[in-house]
Structure 1
Amino acid sequence: MTVAIIWQHAIRAAAFIMVWALFGAPAGAAVPDTIQTQLQRGINLSFWFTYRGDPSIDPQRFRPDDADLRQLRAVGFRHARIAFDHAWLVDPVDARRVNPQKVDELGAALQKVASFGLLPVLTMNADNAFLQRLLTQPAVRDSTAAFWWSLSRALAARLPADKLVFEVLNEPATDDAAASLKVMQTLAGAVRDAAPRHTIVVAGHKYSSVDELVALVPFQDDNLVYTFHFYEPFNFTHQGATWGWPMWTRFHDFPYPSSPAAMAPLLPQLDEEARSHAAWYGQQAWNRDKLAAMLDRVAAWRDQHRVVVWCSEFGVLKTYAPPTSRQAWLRDTRELLDARQIGWAHFDFSQHMGLVDGVQGARQWDRGAVQALGLTAPR
């Protein structure tokens, strides 16, 4: 089906999309068992279709090749979450359309991932400026819905419902829960109309944490998965991060589990301001039980609403975290998710939180991290 024909269908579907956004979709088939099974263990493949054109992103380092995909399947992963930048894929002239050449490139990649036995989950990234317009300007919201309609229609023609899942937006990054909900409903409505049988993923506002998930009122569509991200405690998982809270750049070697005794040797190495935060991290006593209590809230919300939940991101920045602590946190989090029958996708394949270093053909796997995830570490 050509993009022009797809766009004609999108115009006719506009009224349906608006009704879905306001009142919810009719209840349909539940999330298929095959999808739920494949969502149990996955990996994020970031920087494949994001940051295109950024000279600091080496394709040989950050993008998977056939050997990588084959190895990911052999290790034990069953799905791959693949983000794309809206700005890269949208038609530069008409924001309601997709760029057909880039859709072809993306579609071919998704088909390749599926051919290696990995379920692709496609999610849209957007920069802060676009997110603000998307959340506050109805015209932008509607044009983005038309964009998603065209995209999902084109990709659904390539990959059937058991071979592709659509996640409409990664981390809305807003405190306005109502605005985020409106966007999620509108975009999901567009996808549902274009791809009636495909599973759709939605999330809460802000950065899709546990708090945002349990504040979400489920939609009237049974073939939806509700996702959340899990990085608690951030002062451990994001120590050394050069984004987000500036204080993180001054944290290093924080252990997990945390306690005043475990942090005591580290405190003299930190400046006064960082020292106070480090001492507090020790006093908080982060451990397996504390993580379990947070994930119990997710399981209770899921059971209350009888929906499917999925942790689409969790991981630890590896540059400054002690390797044994990183492995302990990954093991605890993964085992707690498994015990609650919550599927997960580790963040990430490569880069700061990745399981591999090196370039295509010369990957160096973090065996300890892979084993902490309950998977078979490659030789």
Structure 2
Amino acid sequence: MKQGLFLFSLTLFCFYDLSAQQDLASSRLKTIGSGINVSWLEQTWNSGGLYHKKLKQEDFNLLASAGIRTIRLPVAFERFYLSGNDEEKNAIISNIDNVLKLCQRFAFKLILVNHSGRLQNQSLNEDEERLKMLWAMLEKRYRHVSSSLLYFELFNEPTLEDAKWLPIAASVTKLIHQSSPKRTLIIGASNYNSIYELSRISPLLDKNIIYTFHFYEPFIFTHQGATWIGKQVTTTGIPFPYAADKMPKLNTEAKGTAGEKNYLNYVNEGKKGAIHDKLMIIKNWSKKNRVPVLCSEYGVYRKHAPFISVCNYLSIVKNELQSLAIPGIIWDYDDNFSILAGEPKNKKLLPCLFP
């Protein structure tokens, strides 16, 4: 009888513990609000950028005035911290600590992101151990920082299939929560934080997790002219929403690629309704599984997209996310997906997005 009562009490305790974790993650989600990605510490090709403190008090004044309350900080820990020299390691930590202090001063949330990491089938065991080592070090260093201020995002845009990625994510989550049980973690699915892959997974047992996705659809619009993507996005001048009389001709380099199919289907995809329908996929998944979700990236590559279309798209996605109570974090502040109007040095935000 005593043994049965003990097992019942233990089961009840575990249930309430998981429920409390779930409530904690959901309540934390509500405090994230509108956010912005600040791109520079993840740029593996630009180690010189490490020695530049990009965010200053005037930046926070500007962002706060626009209602932004969260900074997402992508960091190339694999390149500059795990594999970097002492100078690079110190520069990374100095920059993170500087942003953290500014977030504390302005009552912003900070999401610290492991960006440009390595998880590959051919070296998976080694890569998993390096990932654990990284988060063990970061957890210890920032253990004293309020868990209501600082969030950890375990791995940006995993490409490893979820059958392998999710057990690794669970293992890293367990490691962090052993010493910092109240630290809310952020985890996305495979295929570059795909909204579709996320909608297919079962959430992890640990409930102090916010699930994330990236939203750049329709991709042919948001990444038009992006040379790092390839020929599929070589057609430029594409408007949003779709307008037949404003559509450019398909670039000859895009013929025979996925870009040609996307171009022909843009009449269906390049509209507000299509965005709503896609976001509803993840909203329904969130409701079904009773887990919080976050859009940690959405944006438009600015170089070739018509200005009014950039405004149209960002405003629509922002409003759709807000209507679904999904916090959205724009990519990015002042780089090639910038939300600034005019020259970066002028520090003026797009009035169409932040009136």
2:81 to 85, 89, 93: 89
Identify the match of residue 80 of structure 1 among 65, 71, 74: 71
Aligned to 2:13: none
Tell me, in whole angstroms, the C-alpha distance in 1 between the residues paired with 2:242 and 2:261.
13
2:317 aligns to what? 333
State which of 281, 292, 296 in structure 2 corresponds to 1:312.
296
Please tell me the root mean square deviation across aligned C-alpha atoms, in Å. Answer: 2.8
State the Cα distance separating 1:335 from its structure 2 match: 1.2
Partner of 1:172: 158
2:191 equivalent in structure 1: 206
Query: For 2:127 and 2:329, how far apart are their aligned partners in 1?
Result: 30
The one-letter amino acid paired with 2:143 is A
1:111 aligns with 2:101: yes
Distance in 1, matches of 2:55 and 2:91, equals 20
Partner of 2:7: none
Alignment of 1:107-256 (within 5 A): 107-127=97-117, 130-132=118-120, 136-157=123-144, 159-174=145-160, 176-248=161-233, 250-256=234-240
State the match for 2:5 in structure 1.
Answer: none
Q: Is the 8 A contact 1:235 1:281 kept in 2?
A: no
Q: 2:252 aligns with which of 260, 271, 279?
A: 271
CA 115–169 in structure 1, closer or farther in 2 if over 3 Å, else same? same
For residues 45 and 264 of structure 2, what CA distance do their matches in structure 1 show?
41
Query: Alignment length, in residue pairs?
Result: 331
> Quick one: percent identity of the two aligned structures?
22
Cα distance per residue 1:24-44 (max 9 Å; x no partner): xx7252335652232221000
Q: Deviations over 1:36-56 (max 9, x none)?
A: 232221000111x22267178
Cα deviation, 1:264-318, whole Å, max 9, x if unaligned, reads xx22x84374595575144435211111111111111000011100000001111
Per-residue CA deviation, residues 200-231 of structure 1 (Å, 9 max, x unaligned), is 10110111121011012101122110000001
> What amino acid sits opposite 1:257 in the alignment?
P
SS in 2 for 1:69: helix
The Cα offsets for residues 79-108 of structure 1, whole Å up to 9 and x where unpaired, read as 1100111221226599xxx95774354234
Instruction: Letter of the 1:90 partner, please give it.
Output: L
Alpha-carbon separation, structure 1, partners of 2:254 and 2:109: 45
1:121 to partner: Cα distance:
0.5
User: Aligned with 2:73: secondary structure?
Assistant: strand
Shift of 1:126: 2.2
CA distance in 2, matches of 1:41, 1:178: 32
Structure 1 CA distance for aligned equivalents of residues 128 and 263 of structure 2: 44
**Rounded Cα–Cα distance in structure 1 between residues aligned with 2:251 and 2:48:** 30
Tell me the amino acid that sits aligned with residue 32 of structure 2: L
2:38 matches 1:45: yes
Contact residue 50 and residue 85 of structure 1 kept, 8 A: yes
Partner of 1:296: 280
Report if the CA contact (8 A) 2:120-2:127 is conserved: no
Separation in 2 of the partners of 1:101 and 1:58? 6
Query: Contact 1:259–1:285 (CA<8 Å) still a contact in 2?
Result: no
Q: CA deviation at 1:199?
A: 0.6
304-313 or 250-259, which moves further after superposition?
A: 250-259
CA distance in 2, matches of 1:272, 1:102: 40
Alpha-carbon distance in 2 for matches of 1:181, 1:294: 23
- Where structure 2 has 5 or more consecutive residues not aligned to the other structure, the ranges are 1-16
CA distance in 1, matches of 2:137, 2:326: 31
Check whether the contact 1:136–1:179 (CA below 8 A) recurs between aligned residues: no
Structure 1 residue runs of 5 or longer lacking an equivalent are 1-25
1:66 maps onto 2:57 in alignment: yes
Q: Answer whether contact 1:261 1:282 (CA < 8 A) is retained.
A: no
Return closer, same or farther for 1:197/1:327 CA change in 2, 3 Å cut-off.
same
Change (3 A) 1:273 1:137: closer
Structure 1 residues 136 and 113: alpha-carbon distance in aligned structure 2, compared to 1, 3 A threshold: same
